[in-house]
């Protein structure tokens, strides 16, 4: 047995006081006159022995009552799991899970309410001088300080549901970062959560000097269907044209979800409606078509009806329907008549032509498509800028010059993992086949003839074998590549083996030339993402924005306004939002009063999976010294106190002190010596 406050044991010296009182009986006796001294002497001897027994019992009761009262103040305990540091200050970090899944109900109400109550119980199990840290999914700065017990309880009352979702490793690392600064204190970590499966997938790295405790709250297994993601099949969006939206539905339940209604709204108007059945624990992609969009930014929303879990029933997205598509043509100083004629045939394309020595590098990222032709040698600066442009999602079409500098072209194209011209082949040839499975030709031909008229070639450049995977659009009879696309970073480069000159081939005047260029252009969109995820996408990359002094960019949603940190980089502008956005929805990016873009933000869908970690799985992730406390335990305060300080005996001591005080009262009041026996004199 040990004592938290052993100094109180000095109070046991007060036990001498009852002893002294009993040794010196200050009670005055009353005189009684008797006629016969012999009878008086015999009665005195008999009552004195009985009185001594009574007084000894009273003395023992008083001593024991006082002794146990002193022991209660000394706080005796039997050593428990973490009782080795008893008497030192405790620093306790308590994580209260306030993610969306904590809205579920159990017998105590919502899981969040239950978690807040248990956090207060944990704090109440410690002493008044101990300090506490409250941590939630938001990782707010105000939660990076230590609080007293009362301050902690007030902070817990203010915790609300958050869209954030962190892993166990992120949570523990955050708690350890604060506790590491508290030298000499006893450190403990508590995590109060439903402990979903998405919170842990590998063993956790923890500090051996910190005690870890997990309190798992239990809720019923509820079925749930969520919209995981959406994407549009068209890269370029034109006013009035048909759009196809692919919706990815995920059924997280163990039972089939039948006839789930789903609708798509654009700018508040319903555009598509459907009903879907999804197998248990499966993912299903469904396509919805709509049309009639005007030019400008479109605010989209996918909504399904799925009860009782509703936080993931809405999914937001946004995209821009362009009135015109800008195309940049770069040449060696003389405009290429064929390229100019192709894009001038459709008013949707807004063509800008520049010589290779006058290119505005800062504006390259504003063009979804860039085509270069008739450049003998690409300058180092232009080559680097085009590489950056492609890596960020741009599409580049390259037609070599008639008198191309092969060494220069090799350096330019090889840096992007694109096939480069190795040598000029002057033999006549013909395009033998086209790849109808390529995205460029897919769904282009209603019917394909057996003997199609394909481009004829007089001479061509033999292309090297590229390091990346090639999407061969057209192949020559000898198996050589005639025109192919190559992935480079987030973008794509289409490399042709011939110059746009009739001395090389009849491609510039062939019927395939215009549709191929149009298809490449319509596949070349590199707009902003349809949506971002709160808590994950903390850095947004947008087209370059020129800001004057004292000009700011703002993200607004209703009355809410956020000013992100803005940094300019080569070819784009970066917005750092960190954890400033907390509500899902569509935000407007503004420069002063002008709208630059509309950005959609959605919650993290990891919370949608309502399956939980089992005790066996938790043992694999958590350190051996950690303990798991399930939500069914009756008294969390008692469990915490016993875990940290062992079995507390002070309550028992008080009970025993009261029992012996009651015994003393009973002895004084009710304990009487037996009937007097009077002997006759001889």
Query: Which among 135, 139, 176, 172 is positioned nearest to 156, based on CA atoms?
Result: 135
Q: Kindly state the DSSP code that residue 118 receives in the 8-state scheme.
A: H
Quote the pLDDT of residue 506: 95
Write out pLDDT tens, residues 264-281: 999 999 999 999 999 999
Instruction: Tokens 């956005």: give the residue.
Output: 581
The pLDDT of 71-85, averaged and rounded, is 68
- C-alpha–C-alpha distance, residues 615 and 107, integer Å: 21
The CA radius of gyration of the chain, in Å to the nearest whole number, is: 42
Indicate the class that CATH gives domain 225-322: mainly beta
Write out pLDDT tens, residues 383-395: 999 999 999 889 9
- C-alpha–C-alpha distance, residues 135 and 17, integer Å: 52
Residue 615 has pLDDT above 70, yes or no: yes
The pLDDT of 554-573, averaged and rounded, is 88
Quote the pLDDT of residue 459: 95
Query: Which among 260, 231, 234 is positioned nearest to 246, based on CA atoms?
Result: 231
Element (H, E) at 154: helix 149-157
State the fold for domain 532-602: Immunoglobulin-like (2.60.40)
- C-alpha–C-alpha distance, residues 518 and 506, integer Å: 18
Query: Which among 188, 20, 1, 158 is positioned nearest to 90, based on CA atoms?
Result: 188
Quote the pLDDT of residue 518: 92
Quote the pLDDT of residue 648: 74
Q: Kindly state the DSSP code that residue 443 receives in the 8-state scheme.
A: T
The pLDDT of 662-674, averaged and rounded, is 78
Query: Which among 620, 479, 592, 608 is positioned nearest to 104, based on CA atoms?
Result: 608
- C-alpha–C-alpha distance, residues 401 and 412, integer Å: 14
Indicate the class that CATH gives domain 325-522: alpha beta
| 153 and 134 Cβ atoms separated by less than 8 Å | no
Q: What are phi and psi of 640, to 5 degrees?
A: -65, -45
Element (H, E) at 16: helix 16-23
Highest mean pLDDT among 3-17, 408-422, 466-480: 408-422
Identify the residue with better confidence: 663 or 331: 331
Note the pTM of the prediction, 2 decimals.
0.74
Quote the pLDDT of residue 378: 95
Identify the residue with better confidence: 511 or 443: 511
Quote the pLDDT of residue 680: 47
Domains 225-322 and 532-602 equal at CATH topology level: yes
Residue 425 has pLDDT above 60, yes or no: yes
Write out pLDDT tens, residues 495-507: 999 999 999 999 9
Identify the residue with better confidence: 45 or 408: 408
Please give the share of the chain, as a percent, with pLDDT higher than 90.
Answer: 47
DSSP calls for 384-399: HHHHHHHHTT-EEEEE
Q: How confident is the model at residue 14 (pLDDT cuts 50, 70, 90)?
A: confident
- C-alpha–C-alpha distance, residues 476 and 435, integer Å: 12
Residue 512 has pLDDT above 50, yes or no: yes
Please give the share of the chain, as a percent, with pLDDT higher than 70.
Answer: 90
Q: What share of the chain is helix, strand, coil (3-state, %, to 5)?
A: 30, 30, 40
Query: Which among 556, 94, 608 is positioned nearest to 312, based on CA atoms?
Result: 608
Q: Which residues pair with 303 in a beta bridge?
A: 263, 314
Quote the pLDDT of residue 589: 95
Rounded alpha-carbon distances, angstroms, from residue 434 to 285, 388, 440, 563: 30, 30, 10, 51
Flag the least confident range among 16-30, 188-202, 515-529, 593-607: 16-30
CATH architecture of 83-215+613-645: 3-Layer(aba) Sandwich (3.40)
Q: How confident is the model at residue 163 (pLDDT cuts 50, 70, 90)?
A: confident
Domain ranges of the chain: 2-79+649-670, 83-215+613-645, 225-322, 325-522, 532-602
Q: What are phi and psi of 59, to 5 degrees?
A: -60, -45
Rounded alpha-carbon distances, angstroms, from residue 357 to 302, 386, 469, 541: 47, 14, 32, 28
| 413 and 376 Cβ atoms separated by less than 8 Å | no
Quote the pLDDT of residue 548: 84
- C-alpha–C-alpha distance, residues 405 and 657, integer Å: 103
The pLDDT of 176-195, averaged and rounded, is 90
The pLDDT of 216-242, averaged and rounded, is 87
Give the count of alpha carbons within 13 A of 14, CB side only.
13
Quote the pLDDT of residue 645: 59
Q: How confident is the model at residue 675 (pLDDT cuts 50, 70, 90)?
A: very low
The pLDDT of 400-429, averaged and rounded, is 94
| 645 and 288 Cβ atoms separated by less than 8 Å | no
Quote the pLDDT of residue 454: 93
Quote the pLDDT of residue 682: 44
Q: How confident is the model at residue 526 (pLDDT cuts 50, 70, 90)?
A: low
The pLDDT of 490-518, averaged and rounded, is 94
Work out the burial of residue 248: count CB atoms within 10 Å of its CB; fewer than 13 is exposed, 13-18 middle, 19 or more buried.
Answer: middle
| 100 and 161 Cβ atoms separated by less than 8 Å | yes
Looking at every residue in the chain, the average pLDDT score rounds to 86
| 123 and 94 Cβ atoms separated by less than 8 Å | yes
């Amino acid at each position: 047995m040990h004592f938290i406050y052993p100094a109180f044991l000095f109070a046991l010296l007060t036990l001498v006081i009852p002893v002294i009182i009993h040794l010196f009986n200050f009670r005055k006796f009353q005189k009684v006159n008797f006629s016969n001294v012999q009878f008086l002497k015999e009665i005195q001897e008999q009552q004195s022995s009985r009185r001594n027994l009574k007084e000894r019992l009273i003395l023992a009761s008083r001593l024991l009552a006082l002794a146990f009262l002193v022991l209660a103040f000394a706080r005796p305990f039997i050593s428990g799991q973490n009782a080795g540091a008893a008497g030192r200050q405790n620093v306790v970090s308590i994580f209260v899970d306030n993610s969306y899944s904590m809205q579920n109900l159990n017998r105590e109400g919502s899981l969040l309410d239950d978690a807040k109550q248990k956090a207060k119980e944990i704090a109440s199990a410690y002493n008044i001088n101990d300090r506490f840290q409250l941590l939630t999914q938001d990782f707010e700065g105000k939660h990076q300080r230590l609080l007293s017990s009362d301050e902690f309880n007030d902070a817990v009352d203010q915790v609300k549901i958050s869209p954030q979702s962190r892993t166990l490793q992120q949570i523990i690392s955050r708690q350890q970062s604060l506790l590491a600064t508290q030298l000499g204190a006893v450190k403990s970590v508590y995590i109060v959560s439903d402990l979903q499966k998405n919170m842990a997938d590998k063993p956790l790295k923890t500090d051996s000097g910190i005690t870890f405790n997990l309190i798992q709250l239990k809720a019923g297994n509820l079925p749930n269907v969520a919209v995981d993601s959406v994407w549009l099949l068209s890269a370029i969006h034109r006013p009035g044209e048909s759009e196809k939206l692919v919706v990815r539905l995920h059924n997280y339940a163990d039972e089939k979800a039948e006839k789930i209604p789903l609708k798509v709204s654009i700018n508040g108007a319903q555009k598509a409606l459907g009903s879907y059945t999804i197998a248990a624990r499966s993912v299903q992609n469904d396509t919805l078509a709509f049309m009639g969009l005007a030019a400008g930014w479109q605010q989209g929303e996918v909504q399904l009806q799925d009860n009782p879990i509703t936080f993931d029933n809405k999914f937001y997205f946004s995209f821009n329907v362009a009135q015109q598509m800008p195309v940049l043509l770069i040449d060696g100083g003389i405009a290429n008549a064929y390229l100019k004629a192709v894009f001038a045939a459709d008013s949707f394309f807004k063509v800008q032509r520049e010589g290779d020595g006058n290119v505005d590098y800062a504006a390259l990222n504003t063009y979804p498509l860039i085509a270069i032709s008739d450049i003998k040698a690409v300058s180092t600066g232009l080559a680097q800028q085009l590489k950056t442009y492609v890596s960020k999602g741009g599409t580049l079409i390259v037609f070599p010059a008639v008198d191309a500098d092969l060494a220069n072209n090799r350096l330019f194209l090889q840096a992007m993992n694109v096939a480069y011209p190795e040598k000029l082949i002057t033999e006549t040839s013909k395009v033998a086949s086209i790849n109808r499975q390529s995205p460029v030709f897919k769904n282009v031909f209603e019917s394909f003839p057996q003997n199609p008229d394909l481009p004829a070639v007089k001479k061509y450049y033999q292309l090297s074998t590229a390091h990346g995977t090639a999407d061969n659009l057209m192949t020559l009879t000898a198996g050589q590549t005639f025109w192919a696309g190559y992935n480079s970073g987030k973008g794509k480069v289409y490399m042709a083996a011939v110059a746009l000159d009739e001395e090389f081939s009849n491609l510039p005047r062939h019927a395939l030339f215009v549709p191929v260029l149009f298809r490449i252009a319509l596949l070349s969109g590199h707009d902003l993402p349809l949506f971002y995820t709160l808590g994950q996408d903390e850095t947004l990359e947008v087209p370059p924005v020129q800001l004057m002094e004292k000009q700011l960019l703002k993200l607004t949603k209703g009355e809410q306004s956020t000013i992100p940190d803005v940094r300019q980089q080569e070819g784009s502008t970066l917005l750092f939002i960190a954890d400033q956005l907390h509500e899902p929805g569509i935000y407007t990016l503004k420069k002063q009063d002008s709208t630059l873009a509309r950005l959609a933000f959605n919650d993290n869908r990891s919370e949608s999976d309502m399956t939980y970690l089992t005790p066996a799985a938790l043992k694999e992730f958590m350190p051996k010294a950690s303990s798991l406390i399930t939500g069914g335990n009756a008294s969390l305060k008692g469990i915490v106190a016993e875990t940290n300080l062992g079995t507390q005996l002070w309550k028992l001591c008080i009970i025993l002190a009261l029992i012996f005080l009651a015994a003393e009262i009973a002895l004084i009041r009710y304990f009487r010596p037996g009937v007097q026996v009077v002997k006759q004199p001889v």
